[in-house]
């Protein structure tokens, strides 16, 4: 009889309670150093120069000599592209870029204004003033002509 597979908790995701069977969550970070499991890679040096296609052992040795990390930047290409860089600095700059892009996002709100067919002119002017204030504030306005059932 087979034992039930071990299940790992995936950190409170609202989309799924269980993340993956045997092995935990799939990492979204690039593979670095000895986690790269291919025989040869296309190597990019620390200054951005093309070194060429080298064996993984040579690439790891070059990264170790430079006191940097070997980071897989394009894992789907043939052969995978790896770059010699400081991985901690790379992660820090990526976090700064994400934070800056979130800061520059504009949050658009759709406001809705209901108008009845028998509205008085003063009430119409008041609602029109509200709509103008919303539009000048950068919000979108949805006009809803409300016709009650008679």
SS (H, E, C) 78-120: CCCEEEEECHHHHHHHHHHHHHHHHHCCCCCCEEEEEECCCCC
pLDDT in tens, 36-72: 888 999 999 888 888 889 999 998 998 888 889 999 8
The architecture of the domain spanning 33-88 is: Roll (3.10)
Share of the chain above pLDDT 90, in %: 16
Model pTM? 0.52
The average pLDDT across 5-32 equals 57
Q: Return the higher-pLDDT residue of 114 and 27.
A: 114
Task: Tokens 């609602």: give the residue.
Answer: 127
| Residue 94 confidence (pLDDT) above 70 | yes
Share of the chain above pLDDT 70, in %: 81
Check: CB of residue 84 under 8 Å from CB of residue 58: no
Average model confidence (pLDDT) across the chain: 81
- Spell out the domain ranges in the chain: 33-88, 110-145
Residue 82 exposed, middle or buried by CB count within 10 Å (0-12, 13-18, 19+):
buried
């Amino acid at each position: 009889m087979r034992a039930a597979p071990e299940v790992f908790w995936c950190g409170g995701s609202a989309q799924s309670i269980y993340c993956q069977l045997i092995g935990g969550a799939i990492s979204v970070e690039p593979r670095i150093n000895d986690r790269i499991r291919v025989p040869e890679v296309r190597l990019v040096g620390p200054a951005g120069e093309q070194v060429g296609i080298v064996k993984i052992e040579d690439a790891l040795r070059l990264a170790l000599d430079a006191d940097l990390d070997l980071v897989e930047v394009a894992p789907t290409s043939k052969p995978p592209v790896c770059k010699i860089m400081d991985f901690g600095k790379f992660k820090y700059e990526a976090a700064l870029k994400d934070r800056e892009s979130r800061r520059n996002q504009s949050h658009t709100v759709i406001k809705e204004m209901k108008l009845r067919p028998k509205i008085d002119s003063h009430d119409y002017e008041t609602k029109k003033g509200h709509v103008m204030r919303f539009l000048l504030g950068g919000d979108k306005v949805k006009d809803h002509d409300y016709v009650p059932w008679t």
